[in-house]
Amino acid sequence: MSRPQDGDNNGTATCDIGAYEYKVPILTEKFRSTATYDGWVLEESETSETGGSKSATATTLLVGDDAQDRQYRAILSFDTSTLPDNAVITSAVLKIKRQSVVGTDPFSTHGKLLVDMRKGYFGSAKALQAADFEVTASASAVKNIPNTPVSNWYKVNLPTTAFQYVHLKNVTQFRLRFQKGDNDDMDADYMKFYSGNHSSESVRPLLIIKYYVP
């Protein structure tokens, strides 16, 4: 996470105090997914819709399905508690970098890559749990990540309706899943994205928040 510097300012916002208006700078914070809490979860069986196995230590996040048509979902965890308690968010961008594709590209067979949000953590703790696969999100499918990577980076601008789910006192977690759980071919077809465990910080999932303090 980087602290906002003067060069990170992105214009100003206008605030009102009674009959007076004043300008405040829009600042930027950048958060990397926390290795301890992110990872992938694999469905228990093809039609169970519940989590089975998981990995919080892998250097890649898996999203798609395995050779038994069980769905992979990925959890991203960002410590957004360092944002000011009265921060007013003006922009939120989520970025993930592709490492490789196994089997058929699920973007061509599994529909859209959806983003669920949780204000806080999905399960009963910050740490990755099998139940994170199915735990109810604060907001389900807030947006999909377009299949338009630039240098293997996939980016989504979160809608303003999602800003309320950025936790200013705790973590903010995201769950990535394809629209279709599998493509019924009994073959492994999944995307591999770099996780917070990767040794190179520059490829870890990134959340970019722009905000101002009134």
**Distance, CA of 151 to CA of 163 (rounded, Å):** 27
pLDDT (average), residues 70-82: 98
| Percentage, residues of the chain above pLDDT 70 | 92
Single-letter code of the amino acid located at 23: K
Q: Please identify which residue in the block is written with the tokens 């073959």.
A: 187
Burial 40-57, CB ≥16 within 10 A → b, else e: bbbbbebeeeebeebbbe
Single-letter code of the amino acid located at 115: V
- Which segments of the chain belong to CATH 2.60.120? 31-198
- The pLDDT assigned to 23 comes to 84
pLDDT (average), residues 155-176: 98
- Please tell me the total number of residues recorded for the chain in this structure: 214
Single-letter code of the amino acid located at 35: A
Q: Does 11 score more than 70 pLDDT?
A: yes
Q: Does 210 score more than 70 pLDDT?
A: yes
Of 97, 38, 43, give the one whose Cα is nearest residue 65: 43
- The pLDDT assigned to 20 comes to 62
pLDDT band at 7 (very low <50, low <70, confident <90, very high): very low
- The pLDDT assigned to 13 comes to 78
CB 152 within 8 A of CB 137: no
Q: Does 4 score more than 50 pLDDT?
A: no
Please list, in sequence order, all residues whose beta carbon lies within 8 angstroms of the beta carbon of residue 57, skipping any fewer than 6 positions away: 39, 197
- The pLDDT assigned to 124 comes to 93
Please list, in sequence order, all residues whose beta carbon lies within 8 angstroms of the beta carbon of residue 129, skipping any fewer than 6 positions away: 41, 51, 54, 122, 123
pLDDT band at 5 (very low <50, low <70, confident <90, very high): very low
Q: Does 165 score more than 50 pLDDT?
A: yes
pTM score: 0.92
Q: Does 8 score more than 50 pLDDT?
A: no
The pair of structure tokens assigned to 55 is 């990995």
Single-letter code of the amino acid located at 102: V
pLDDT (average), residues 136-164: 98
Of 157, 159, 160, give the one whose Cα is nearest residue 145: 157
Task: Confirm or reject CATH 3.40.390 for domain 31-198, answering yes or no.
Answer: no
Mean pLDDT score of the chain:
93
Q: Does 70 score more than 90 pLDDT?
A: yes
- The pLDDT assigned to 106 comes to 98
Q: Does 80 score more than 70 pLDDT?
A: yes
pLDDT digits (tens, 9 = 90+) for 90-141: 999 999 999 999 999 999 999 999 999 999 999 999 999 999 999 999 999 9
